[in-house]
């Protein structure tokens, strides 16, 4: 509300509001400027979780509750600006999951899309529709919406990964569905690696044939570190870094060449030692994991030091600068793809 009201009108309006309220009616003019802001005003805060600290708490939880008891033994990385919401950004969730040797996290499926980014351990698996993706550090594994998934650890070491899900997005649309498989693990449907050979080689089984096994829109679910790191290295060796991103690669869905899932985009970037990015703002609040190296993130006047396996969340529309003290490799995921589909995505590069 801009122009001043007479005292009399103001008094009568207050009385009007009080009369309307029991009928769930409110004056827009009192709240309009908070609803339609000239630029985004996320209540989320920039925040870093140090891996060593989070890992310690997670292992302590591992002494007290099994994966089967918990269904998923996860520490939620909740944004301090969004208390009580289990949100890392306004639209995305982040957590750290632990599976100890011999454990199984039981099979279920849900409308929510999930990604796993492996932090530690080797040889445990996520099975997607009964196919195991055997995980190594910094592999990306997807469990797209409504695909059955269970996790198991047949290795001798604890396995820890970051879970990234679109939980707040699904909640926003009131579109959550979930169900449990009748047994703890889905029966093995095909040997590990089958999907990569079938769909991950710029080919696909002829549509409508019996060998076209995977859901058409989401065939691929394992993006190994060994492969993406080699591609990123090649990029870094053969050209100049982008001034805002450094050397950056987006993970794609081979079904259409776009983002990995309908609600989540994921990428990796490599910043050469000594590189400082140009400032950039974007509407997609992003969760980053430090894969290699040391550096600093400068976000709206705050300086945050970054070490290997730290998790950093940067909310929508905060000016972000990365400074690489050593060569710095980052993984990041955001809702960029969803915003692009809705015509909302914006960025500003200086």
Binding site for ligand 1HN (CB under 6 A): 72, 74, 95, 97, 105, 114, 149, 151, 163, 165, 167
Give the residue with the Cβ less far from ligand 1HN, 149 or 318. 149
Find the Cα–Cα–Cα–Cα dihedral 164, 166, 171, 173, rounded to 10°.
180
Closest CA to 43 of 77, 75, 93, 87: 87
Pick between residue 112 and residue 283 the one whose CB is nearest to ligand 1HN: 112
Q: What is the DSSP string of 295-312?
A: EEEEETTEEEEE-TT-EE
User: C-beta of 107: minimal distance to ligand 1HN in Å?
Assistant: 9
Question: Cβ closer to ligand 1HN: 169 or 277?
Answer: 169
Residue 348 has what DSSP assignment?
Answer: E
Q: How far apart are CA 246 and CA 236, in angstroms?
A: 9
Q: How far is the CB of 73 from ligand 1HN (least distance, A)?
A: 9
Nearer to ligand 1HN by Cβ, of 113 and 329: the residue is 113
Token output for 196: 């990569």
**Which of residues 107 and 320 has its CB atom nearest to ligand 1HN in the complex?**
107
The CB-of-109 to ligand 1HN minimum distance in angstroms stands at 9
Close Cβ partners of 263 (under 8 Å, ≥ 6 residues apart):
91, 113, 166, 169, 170, 335, 337, 338
Q: Are 75 and 61 in contact (CB under 8 A)?
A: yes
- Per-residue b/e over 299-313, b at no fewer than 16 CB within 10 Å? beeeeeebeebbbbb
Task: Give the closest residue to 331 by CA, choosing from 180, 139, 193, 85.
Answer: 139
Nearer to ligand 1HN by Cβ, of 221 and 275: the residue is 221
Tokens of 218: 């989401």
Residues 339 and 316: beta-carbon distance below 8 Å:
no
Least distance (Å) between residue 137 CB and ligand 1HN: 18
Nearest residue (CB) to ligand 1HN, 149 versus 247? 149
Which is nearer to ligand 1HN, 145 or 241 (by Cβ)?
Answer: 145
Alpha carbons 238 and 249: distance in angstroms, whole number: 14
Q: At closest approach, how far in Å is the CB of 162 from ligand 1HN?
A: 10
The distance of closest approach from Cβ of residue 165 to ligand 1HN in the complex, given in angstroms and rounded to an integer, is 5
Tell me the torsion sign for CA atoms 227, 148, 160, 327.
positive
Give least dist CB 318 to ligand 1HN, A.
25
CB nearer to ligand 1HN: give 44 or 124: 124
> Residue 140 CB, nearest distance to ligand 1HN (Å)?
14
Question: How many Å is the maximal CA-CA distance in the chain?
Answer: 78
CB of 98 to ligand 1HN, least distance (A): 11
Neighbours of 193 (CB within 10 A): 14
């Amino acid at each position: 509300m801009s122009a001043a009201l007479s005292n009399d009108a103001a008094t009568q309006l207050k009385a009007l509001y009080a009369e309307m309220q029991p009928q769930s009616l409110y004056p827009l003019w009192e709240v309009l400027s908070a609803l339609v802001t000239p630029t985004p005003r996320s209540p989320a805060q920039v925040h870093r979780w140090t891996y060593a600290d989070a890992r310690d708490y997670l292992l302590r939880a591992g002494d007290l509750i099994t994966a089967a008891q918990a269904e998923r033994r996860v520490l939620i990385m909740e944004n301090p600006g969004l208390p009580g919401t289990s949100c890392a950004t306004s639209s995305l969730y982040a957590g750290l999951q632990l599976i100890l040797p011999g454990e199984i996290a039981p099979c279920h499926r849900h409308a929510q899309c999930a990604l796993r980014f492996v932090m530690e351990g080797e040889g445990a698996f996520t099975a997607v529709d009964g196919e195991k993706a055997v995980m190594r550090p910094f592999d990306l594994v997807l469990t797209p919406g409504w695909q059955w998934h269970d996790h198991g650890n047949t290795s001798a070491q604890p396995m820890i990964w970051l879970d990234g899900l679109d939980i707040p997005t699904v909640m926003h649309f009131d579109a959550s569905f979930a169900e449990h498989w009748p047994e703890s693990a889905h029966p093995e449907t095909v040997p590990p690696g089958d999907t990569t050979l079938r769909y991950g080689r710029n080919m696909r089984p002829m549509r409508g044939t019996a060998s076209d096994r995977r859901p058409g829109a989401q065939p691929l679910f394992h993006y190994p570190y060994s492969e993406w790191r080699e591609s990123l290295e090649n990029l870094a060796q053969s050209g100049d870094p982008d001034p805002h991103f450094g050397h950056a690669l987006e993970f794609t869905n081979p079904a259409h060449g776009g983002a990995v899932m309908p609600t989540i985009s994921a990428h990796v970037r490599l910043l050469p030692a000594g590189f400082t990015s140009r400032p950039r703002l974007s509407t997609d609040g992003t969760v980053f994991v430090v894969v290699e190296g040391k550096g600093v993130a400068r976000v709206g006047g705050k300086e945050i030091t970054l070490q290997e396996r730290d998790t950093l969340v940067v909310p929508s529309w905060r000016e972000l600068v990365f400074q690489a003290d050593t060569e710095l490799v980052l993984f990041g995921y955001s809702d960029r793809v969803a915003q692009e589909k809705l015509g909302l995505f914006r960025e500003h590069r200086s």
